[in-house]
Every structure is written in structure tokens, then in C-alpha cells.
Amino acid sequence: MDQPNETVLRARNLRLYFQTRRGPVQAVDGVDFDLRKNEATVIIGESGCGKSSLAKAILRLLPRNAGTYDGEVWLHDQNIMLLNDESFRKEIRWRRISMVPQAAMNALNPVMRIGDQVSEPAIVHMNMTKEDATKSAVRMLEHVGVPIDFLHRYAFELSGGMRQRSALAMALVTLPDVVILDEPTSALDVLTQASIMNLMKRMKKELETSFILITHDIATSSELADNVAVMYAGQIVEVGDARRFFTKPLHPYSHALMASVPRLRETIEPEFITGQPPSLLNPPTGCRFKDRCPKRFDKCDEAPPMFIEEGDRQVRCWLYDDAIQMSRPEYQVVA
């Protein structure tokens, strides 16, 4: 096995709750994950499982109703949760962690020229002159395949794919350590999705940046993923490397997710998961997936810890508790 790359970003017990009139919504509830250099971690989950909130929690983009917000986020050897807001803005945002938003359609200012928006972070964070910033914007725009005469156009004059490319160029212009891609292709048609995914693969190879790809689109994400983290009801339920995850998922929820992906030239009907994801307002005690889980048993009323499986894979499910596997052979998970 290759020497694993150094870890760039480490989240430990990250929590982000939102205050609502009916109580706190536990959008991100004790999330741990690692991101290594020049690798892509895909965070997969259903709508409303808290994956976009996780992106917001990492970049500290808190809405007005944010409540509990704690845990640790280590960027190299610095816990960035300890920074005050002003130094977080100056040192972390876009300098070291940038993002490509969910809908690049609305992520560009309608009354500013594309070039000005792409070069803006370079001016603000790297003390570049306007000319130098424009040059690096041009380099990056050309690199992601946006022609130079788009520099002076406005967002409404661009197609969806071009806007997404511009947003990507904007995220990369300061050459950050980590780029968070929040469903970067979900608003695009299939052909554009493919070209954007290819572009991101190329960027990953050429820029040696690390990516966090947040998506519900398992099929597309498999293109880019080195590692996979599955999120369910505000928690990470499985972490592992992509190759083994996509061939043999561990958690029953991951199984169900994989089974729901339609496959070409196969007669297997895609399956769906019965029931609704639980409300994050009052998440069930014990395992949060237990109400929809086909393999539920009595132990599931207790909250499962992360179990280590196959050396470096982690899964939050009692089925992988060694003691249980010994005593209840009928629950053994055999792929």
C-alpha cells in the first residue's frame, strides 16, 4: 500500500444545531472525518441529512438561528475553531478553504463582471494589485475552460456550465488547501455534469488540492471519490475508501443507498428505502436508522459507536460489534 498522504483537514465531534421555535435542530451532530492531501472525500446522504450544514459548519457560515456550534476542526496542525471571526475570515475563508456552491446560477453577483468576481478573493486575501489579480483570474479561468472574453461578461450572459466553471475558477484562484464542493453539478444537465466532473478530476490531479464533495448523486460522485463518508440524520454512519465502499458497503443504510442506484444493462430493479429520514428536531435515541433498517435487532435501541472494520474502515452499526458477531451468528453480515 502507498504511504497515505498527510492529513489536511480533521473534524472532531463537530456539532451545529439550529435554534427553532420547537427546539434545536441537530443538523450536524458529532461529525468526525479526515481529509488527506490531494484526495477527495465524498459526503453522501439524502436531502436534509445535514450535509450542506456540514459544509457551512466547516466554513463557519452560520445562519442567524445557529445555536450550538462546537467541536474541533484541525487544518494541518491548527484548530481553526479557536480563531475569532475576524481572523477566521482573513486567514481561513477562501485563503485555505473555499467552496463551490450548490447552485452556481445564483452564486454569482448579477451586477458584477465575471472577471471582477473571480479576481476579488485574490485582491482581498493575497494583497494583489488589480492587474495581478486579473492575470491570475485569467489563468484560472482559462485553466477551467472559460474563454478569455467572458472576463468582462455578466453572469446572466453565461450558460449554466460556464457559470459553474467560473464558480470553480473563483474557488481555485487563491489555490486553497481544501475546496468544498456543495452539490456542484446537481443543477446541470447530464452532459454538462460529465464535463464538470471531468474538469474537477483534472483540477484535482493538477492542483494537488483536496476536495470535499457533498452530494446525493452516488453514481457521479464515484468518479472523483477517494474516500466516502455516508451521512444520515446529522451523523456520519460509515467512512471508508471509495473502492471498497462502492463494491461492498458496510452499513445497512449504505447498502440501501447503493441498491437505490439504477444500473445500466442489469435486470435488478432499483430499490427504495422505506419510510422517511427522521426529524433532526428530535432524532430517535439509539441508532438513528433503526426505524427503517431491515436488520434491526434489540441492541439498536442503544446508540452505536464507530466500529473499526477491515483495518481502516469505520461503521456506526451494532452488527459490527465483535461481541455480537460472536454471540448472534445469524446477524453476521456477509456480503
3-state class of 62 per DSSP? Answer: coil
Contact pick of 4, 13, 79, 205 for another protein (by CB under 8 A): 205
Minimal distance in Å, beta carbon 97 to another protein?
9
Give the integer Cα–Cα distance in Å for 293 and 272.
Answer: 12
Segment near another protein (CB under 8 A); pick from 24-32, 108-116, 190-198, 217-225: 108-116
**H-assigned helices in 173-330:** 190-207, 218-221, 242-247, 252-259, 322-327
Residue 101, all three cell numbers:
456552491
Contact pick of 32, 34, 72, 120 for another protein (by CB under 8 A): 120
When asked if residue 6 is in the footprint of another protein (CB under 8 A), the reply is no
When asked if residue 259 is in the footprint of another protein (CB under 8 A), the reply is no
Residue 272, all three cell numbers:
427504495
Looking at the Cβ atoms of 165 and 255, the one nearer to another protein is 165
Looking at the Cβ atoms of 158 and 315, the one nearer to another protein is 158
Looking at the Cβ atoms of 107 and 315, the one nearer to another protein is 107
- Three-class secondary structure assignment of 182-224: ECCCCCCCHHHHHHHHHHHHHHHHHHCCEEEEEECCHHHHCCC
Contact pick of 70, 157, 271, 312 for another protein (by CB under 8 A): 157
Enumerate the β-bridge partners of residue 16: 28, 69
Q: Considering only residues 60 through 89, tell me which ones interact with another protein, judged by CB under 8 A.
A: 61, 89
CA-nearest of 168, 229, 173 to 202 is 168
Site string for another protein, 88-107 (x = CB under 8 A): -xx-xxxxx-xx-xxx-xxx
Contact pick of 26, 41, 134, 166 for another protein (by CB under 8 A): 134
Give the integer Cα–Cα distance in Å for 172 and 211.
Answer: 11
Looking at the Cβ atoms of 97 and 196, the one nearer to another protein is 97
Give the integer Cα–Cα distance in Å for 18 and 1.
Answer: 42
Give contact residues for another protein (rule: CB under 8 A). Answer: 38, 59, 61, 89-90, 92-96, 98-99, 101-103, 105-113, 120-121, 124-126, 134-136, 138-139, 143, 148-149, 151-157, 170, 174-177, 205-209
